[in-house]
């Protein structure tokens, strides 16, 4: 299994996703600030993977804190979590994971537990392992939506590299393949940093799943020709009404899918849902460096000084989403009412 983020020898080990597909290497983080840098520069990316990396980074920071009073430890750990939380604004999993780590610490200190740093490391490792199992369950839940012979379009990378392992959207594809279904995946290149061309294509080659790479602006033409009959993507944050933020370009695909009668599916764990937000209009959208658009890997593609707008995500209205696949099942036609049960389950957890 591809493991993009894990805890090993008291360090956070990450696959360097900026180096793929040319070079397969790992980055070893021994300080939580290194994890923050890796989240910011996309060494690790994908909402679930960011969440796992954040938890492991927080645990790494906790391990560096000297023995002190419980309240001082809590304050210093909170400061570390706040620093990690500032790394990227859109992915809900980042904040969810840090909230879970803080709750773990609060419970441990309330019970008078010794060695809170070790407890936090154990919790982060547990969160990492749970993510893989959640993805596998999601894959099984969504498997029935894909039929033998389907041609499936995906955008960005929602595979093993975007999680602790297995994947969300591509986890559904993997599960269907494992059931014996023959699928063909169309991979959007996903500009400006080409997560589809570099990462999803790399995963499909690794998994030996038939796939074809296309430019982002080819999707409508392929739908018109009847060459795409399903779209499945991941998500970075989902509002209480089902509006979904995902990599820029996802909204355009949803509009195209609706125009051509192609089902549009979103696969995301419950940790991606932000029930404090009424709609997608409330989702914070990260704007990244102009250099990601004006150049690629150090080579300039636009005139010097050309103004650039580079939002990393867009929002797909729930009305364009056929169903959302979670570890608790498939929610068809997501609405605030249809998602209410999921909200109760998340609160219970």
CA 292, CA 290: separation in Å to the nearest integer? 5
How many other CB atoms are there within 10 angstroms of residue 260's CB atom?
17
Structure tokens at 331: 């929610």
236 is catalytic: yes
* Residues 4, 99: Cα–Cα separation, whole Å: 22
What strands lie across the sheet with 230-233, from one edge to the other? 211-214, 184-188, 151-154, 230-233, 264-267, 323-326, 329-332
Q: How far apart are CA 30 and CA 311, in angstroms?
A: 31
DSSP 346: H
Q: Which of 131, 150, 216, 236 is catalytic?
A: 236
Q: Which of 34, 23, 21, 24 is nearest to 3 (CA)?
A: 24
**CB-based burial label for 101 (10 Å; 0-12, 13-18, 19+):** buried
Closest by alpha carbon to 49, among 190, 146, 186, 156? 156
Alpha carbon distance 346, 349 (integer Å) = 5
Angle at 209 between CA 93 and CA 128, to 5 degrees: 25
Tell me how far apart the terminal alpha carbons of the chain are, to the nearest angstrom: 27
Residues facing 325 on adjacent strands: 267, 330
Question: Do the strands 151-154 and 5-8 form a parallel or antiparallel pair, or are they unpaired?
Answer: unpaired
The two tokens of residue 335 are: 């609405």
**Residue 247 token pair:** 């990599």
Q: Which residues are catalytic?
A: 236
């Amino acid at each position: 299994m591809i493991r993009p983020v894990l805890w090993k020898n008291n360090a956070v080990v990450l696959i360097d996703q900026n180096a793929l597909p040319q070079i397969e290497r790992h980055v070893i983080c021994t300080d939580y600030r290194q994890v923050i840098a890796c989240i910011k520069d996309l060494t690790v990316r994908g909402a679930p993977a960011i969440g796992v990396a954040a938890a492991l980074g927080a645990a790494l920071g906790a391990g560096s804190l000297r023995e002190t009073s419980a309240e001082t430890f809590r304050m210093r750990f909170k400061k570390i979590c706040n620093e990690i939380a500032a790394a990227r604004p859109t992915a809900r999993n980042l904040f969810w994971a840090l909230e879970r780590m803080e709750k773990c610490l609060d419970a441990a200190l309330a019970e008078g537990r010794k060695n809170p740093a070790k407890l936090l490391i154990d919790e982060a490792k547990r969160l990492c392992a749970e993510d893989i199992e959640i993805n596998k369950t999601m894959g099984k839940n969504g498997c029935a939506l894909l039929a033998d012979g389907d041609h499936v379009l995906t955008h960005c990378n929602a595979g093993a590299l975007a999680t602790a392992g297995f994947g969300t959207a591509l986890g559904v594809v993997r599960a269907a393949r494992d059931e014996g279904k023959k699928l063909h995946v169309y991979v959007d290149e996903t500009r400006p940093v080409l997560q589809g061309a570099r990462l999803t294509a790399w995963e499909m080659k690794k998994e030996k799943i038939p796939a074809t790479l296309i430019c982002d602006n080819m999707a409508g033409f392929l739908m018109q020709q009847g060459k795409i009959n399903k779209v499945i993507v991941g998500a970075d944050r989902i509002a209480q009404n089902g509006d979904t933020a995902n990599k820029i370009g996802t909204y355009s695909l949803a509009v195209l899918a609706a125009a051509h009668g192609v089902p549009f599916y979103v696969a995301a764990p419950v940790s991606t849902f932000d029930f404090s937000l009424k709609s997608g209009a409330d989702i914070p959208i990260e704007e990244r460096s102009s250099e990601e658009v004006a150049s690629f890997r150090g080579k300039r593609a636009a005139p010097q000084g050309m103004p650039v707008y580079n939002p990393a995500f867009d929002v797909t209205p729930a009305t364009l989403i056929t169903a959302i696949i979670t570890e608790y099942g498939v929610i068809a036609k997501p609405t605030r009412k249809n998602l209410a049960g999921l909200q109760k389950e998340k609160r219970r957890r």
